[in-house]
A and B are shown apart, each in its own frame.
Chain A
Amino acid sequence: MSIEKRMLARELKLIAARPGDIFKPMWFLILVISMVPLALAPDSDLLAEIGSAMIWVATLLALLLNTEHLFQSDFSDGVLEQWLFLDRPLAWLVGLKLVAHWLFHVLPLILITPIAGLMLSVPTEVLIALLITLFVATPALTCFSGLGAALTLGSSRSGILGVLVMMPLFVPVVILAAGVLIRATDGSDTLPLLALLGAFSVVAATLVPIAVSAAIRLNIGGSN
């Protein structure tokens, strides 16, 4: 079996062993969304107006929490250092891990956002736009949060440092996605913005794994 298949198979088995890893972020997302009307008002017009933005931010947070410890257990078990002996460049393996993470951990999160949308009475066409922006934008977000996770591997008391370090880099993605949502609400053309967002994701997905692998190598070099 090739390393690629082995990697995906391992990821699936890990999910089977710890299903909570998938459900906790979803739970978090729905919980945060339920707080919104409680903190604001059960006024469906008001909720519909801010709903898509709230869902975006909540999904972003859920994704960050989810990705923060992406490499932590493999690092402390010493499995991560074995990756260096596999017959592939580390950046490629890291990319695979990120793809697997997106498929098995981020995608389920996106798929439950319609429920959150219903809770905040977001109109259908905006909800569809929301789903599309999440599909297009989350690869970039996953890569960046993976980098945050890798950079803080070596520090034992980092807390949520990885999240804090990476959050400012999300700004362009959030702005572009919000632009798409605004245009979807107006009914104007969203395609150019989606294309930009997609381009950002593609570039991030090709370049960030290299930075992640450098960060991992660096932390392996420093651990005893």
Chain B
Amino acid sequence: MIFEPIQIEISQLRCERDDRLLFKNLSIKLESGQILRVAGPNGAGKTTLLRTLAGLFDIQEGEIRLNQQPLKEYLERILYIGHKPQVTKDLTVLDNLKFLTDVDETALKSALSAVGLKGYHDSLVKELSQGQGRRCALARLWCVDAPIWILDEPYTALDVDMVKTLDARITEHVANGGVCLFTTHQPPQQLDYQTLELGHVD
């Protein structure tokens, strides 16, 4: 599906946590088709920035606007996958997806085969390996049509094949007019992205 044009405007964002200034005067513009990698050392505020953009943290100072509208109006157009597992261990792969998405079962199953979990839909997440659990969480990228993707460490615990699959999916998503923001410590090879370096305040 093709998304309507999106414009994310971050202006003069400033954030402090536990008495430490993480970033200030942060201004970025993002448009449909762009991929932004938020980089920086541990504790630089990457997760904080992503969570602020996803509306999970309150904005301390500055402004975030989506298509000239305040962020709050846009939350259902955001797909956020954090670095926590995002899946319930005691549920099956399919039930996990069913709770968070409003998509029919065939679409869910094709999403699962896209992430290499074909035939695993009836397995409990706790029976899967860590990488497979991560795949289950990422399967939502194949079945939810939110234009804005915010992915915190999506590559963690993924094997080479799955990294390629994910890169291809992100490329496809932005080609359709979506936007993707992510953090990672292993720079992906096959993506055409811009980088925002955090961790240089003071």
Contacts and interface: CB of A to CB of B under 8 A. Distances in A.
Interface of A: 1, 3, 6-7, 9-10, 13-14, 17-18, 73-74, 76-79, 81-82, 84-87, 220-221, 224
Contacts of B79: 85
B78 A14 contact: no
A86 B77 CA distance: 10
A224 B42 CA distance: 12
B47 A224 contact: yes
B99 A10 contact: yes
B192 interface: no
A78 B82 contact: yes
A78 B84 contact: yes
A213 to B, nearest CB: 14
B191 interface: no
Contacts of B87: 77, 79
Contacts of A1: 98, 102
A17 B92 CA distance: 10
B89 A77 contact: yes
Nearest to B102: A1
B51 to A, nearest CB: 8
B82 A81 contact: yes
Nearest to A21: B90
A21 to B, nearest CB: 10
23 contacts: A1-B98, A6-B102, A9-B95, A10-B95, A13-B95, A14-B88, A14-B90, A14-B91, A17-B91, A74-B88, A77-B84, A78-B83, A79-B86, A81-B80, A81-B82, A82-B100, A84-B56, A84-B75, A85-B54, A85-B75, A86-B100, A221-B56, A221-B57
A10 B88 CA distance: 10
A221 B55 CA distance: 9
Contacts of B95: 9-10, 13
Contact of B88 (A7, A9, A73): A73
B161 interface: no
B202 interface: no
B86 A82 contact: yes
Interface residues of B, number: 29
Nearest to A77: B85
Of B88, B95, B98, B99, the most chain A CB neighbours within 10 A belong to B99
Contacts of B83: 78
A9 B54 CA distance: 27
A103 to B, nearest CB: 17
Contacts of B91: 10, 13-14, 17
Contact of B98 (A6, A18, A76, A85): A6
Given A74-B88, A77-B85, A77-B89, A9 B98 contact: yes
Nearest to A222: B57
A18 B88 CA distance: 12
Interface in B63-107: 75-76, 78-80, 82-92, 95, 98-100, 102
B152 to A, nearest CB: 10
B161 to A, nearest CB: 25
A77 B102 contact: no
B4 interface: no
B98 A221 contact: no
Given A82-B80, A84-B55, 18 more contacts: A3-B102, A7-B99, A9-B98, A10-B91, A10-B98, A10-B99, A13-B91, A14-B88, A18-B90, A79-B86, A79-B100, A82-B100, A84-B56, A85-B78, A85-B79, A86-B76, A220-B56, A221-B56
